[in-house]
């Protein structure tokens, strides 16, 4: 973000403001009309996928040399935010495409990038497979194994809570290649949906983001070429953590968009809803609630964009600063989303509790942002440890 001469406020560059206008128009016209139906029928948002693919907003982070737009992290956050403003489920298309390919972009060979990334730029999807039933926050305890056999790796195990599982073509999969080395014995691989021994299991029945499938993955002697490993053997866990440092701001952006959508709807509603002979917007307690909601959303936006901008300048290896900023932005924005959507339901009163209005859906969708890509408790641990490390280095 640049300081605009002559003004005492921060402004995004003109190209980012133009991007917001374009993606907002697309989201309102081609995604919002289907959001309630997507949620009600727990179906994948096909209309959103089509609109995002046709406009190139499905994966704008993919570098230009591999068919993408090569957009920066702030631009990616703007796209996710604006889609989430009207449909949380649909925002997981661009968000998880970035999550599912970030490790490859950071650490993969050019040959592997050339195999995978053009598919994503052309409309296929990618997912990220780290979590297991007994290895959630404690990802280092994963049991999925990969064993080298000649020119192939053979993977056995399972993954759970995989966003867009069954819809994606490519999966970044973490597996143990040397159980004696703990976290340093974990490696990362790119698995294709058609690989021998790979299958998708049942779907989770969820509170929110019902249009985005959350699936279990099974690897039963799943064979992949040896050149599908991302980076060097044993670097997978580091790649996973570095990936999250780059993608946690995108979850912050999703949370931010959901919160903004709820705030926008509440502002319109309170100006129309009459009680005691006047709009409820005329009452001071309503204005106080709106003021608090707006303050929180604006603060969250600054944190998310700052973390995203920082991702363009360094990595988690730079003393952990990116990890601190990403964890804080994701945590704050998701907490704000939960608070703001809950307040929006309150402002709508009994109507807010019904499916006839979108704020109850937004409240349900907001909850997961406090949980995935590192629970907010884990993110606070990440931030706390970095703060203490910084203190020791002063």
The predicted-structure confidence for 330-355, as pLDDT tens digits, reads as follows 999 999 999 999 999 999 999 999 99
Inter-residue contact 222 to 154 (CB < 8 Å):
yes
Inter-residue contact 143 to 71 (CB < 8 Å):
no
DSSP bridge partners of 148: 153
CA distance 391 to 97: 36
pLDDT band at 265 (very low <50, low <70, confident <90, very high): very high
How does pLDDT run across 148-193, given as a tens digit for each residue?
999 999 999 999 999 999 999 999 999 999 999 999 999 999 999 9
Task: Tell me which residue of 85, 80, 108, 84 sits closest to 95, measured CA to CA.
Answer: 80
Q: Examine the pLDDT at 255 and tell me if it is beyond 90.
A: yes
Q: Examine the pLDDT at 329 and tell me if it is beyond 60.
A: yes
Alpha helices in 142-233 (DSSP H): none
Q: Which of 82, 124, 216, 373 is catalytic?
A: 373
Task: Tell me which residue of 291, 297, 189, 303 sits closest to 235, measured CA to CA.
Answer: 189
Q: What count of Cα atoms within 13 Å lies in the side-chain half-sphere of residue 171?
A: 33
Inter-residue contact 210 to 59 (CB < 8 Å):
no
How does pLDDT run across 78-122, given as a tens digit for each residue?
999 999 999 999 999 999 999 999 999 999 999 999 999 999 999
Q: Is the pTM here over 0.85, yes or no?
A: yes
In the predicted model, what is the mean pLDDT of the chain? 95
Active site residue 373: yes
Inter-residue contact 59 to 127 (CB < 8 Å):
no
How does pLDDT run across 307-326, given as a tens digit for each residue?
999 988 765 445 468 999 99
Q: Give the largest Cα separation in the chain, rounded.
A: 79
Which of 141-155, 231-245, 313-327 is predicted with the least confidence, judged by mean pLDDT? 313-327
The mean per-residue pLDDT over the stretch 45-49 comes to 98
Q: In the chain, what are the helix, strand and coil shares in percent, each to the nearest 5? A: 60, 15, 25
At 249 the pLDDT is 97
Q: Which domains does the chain have, with CATH numbers?
A: 9-121 (1.10.540.10), 126-235 (2.40.110.10), 237-392 (1.20.140.10)
């Amino acid at each position: 973000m640049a300081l605009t001469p002559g003004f005492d406020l921060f402004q995004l560059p003109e190209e980012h403001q133009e991007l917001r206008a374009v993606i907002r128009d697309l989201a309102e016209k081609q995604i919002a009309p289907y959001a309630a139906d997507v949620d009600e029928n727990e179906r994948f948002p096909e209309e959103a996928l089509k609109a995002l693919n046709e406009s190139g907003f499905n994966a704008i982070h993919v570098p230009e040399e591999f068919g993408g737009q090569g957009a920066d992290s702030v631009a990616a956050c703007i796209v996710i935010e604006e889609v989430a403003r009207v449909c949380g489920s649909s925002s997981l298309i661009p968000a998880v495409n970035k999550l599912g390919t970030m490790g490859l972009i950071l650490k993969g060979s050019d040959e592997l990038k050339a195999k995978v990334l053009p598919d994503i730029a052309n409309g296929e999807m990618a997912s990220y497979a780290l979590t297991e039933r007994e290895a959630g926050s404690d990802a280092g305890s994963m049991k999925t194994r990969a064993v080298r056999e000649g020119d192939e790796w053979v993977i056995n195990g399972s993954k759970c809570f995989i966003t867009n599982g069954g819809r994606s073509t490519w999966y970044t999969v973490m597996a143990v290649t040397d159980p004696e080395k703990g976290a340093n014995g974990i490696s990362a691989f790119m698995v294709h949906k058609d690989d021998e021994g790979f299958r998708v299991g049942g779907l989770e029945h969820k509170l929110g983001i019902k249009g985005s499938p959350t699936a279990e993955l099974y690897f039963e002697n799943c064979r992949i070429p040896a050149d599908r490993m991302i980076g060097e053997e044993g670097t997978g866990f580091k790649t996973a953590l570095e990936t999250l440092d780059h993608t946690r701001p995108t979850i912050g952006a999703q949370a931010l968009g959901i919160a903004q959508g709820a705030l926008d709807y509440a502002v319109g509603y309170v100006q129309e809803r009459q009680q005691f002979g006047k709009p409820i917007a005329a009452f001071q307690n309503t204005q106080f609630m709106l003021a608090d909601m707006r303050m929180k959303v604006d603060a969250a936006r600054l944190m998310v964009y700052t973390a995203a901008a920082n991702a363009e300048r360094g990595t988690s290896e730079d003393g952990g600063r990116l990890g601190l900023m990403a964890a804080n932005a994701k945590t704050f924005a998701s907490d704000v989303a939960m608070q703001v959507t809950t307040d929006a339901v309150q402002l709508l009163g009994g109507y807010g509790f019904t499916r006839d209005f979108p704020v109850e859906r937004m409240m349900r969708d907001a909850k997961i942002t406090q949980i995935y890509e590192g629970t907010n408790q884990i993110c606070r641990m990440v931030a706390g440890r970095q703060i203490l490390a910084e203190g020791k280095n002063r």
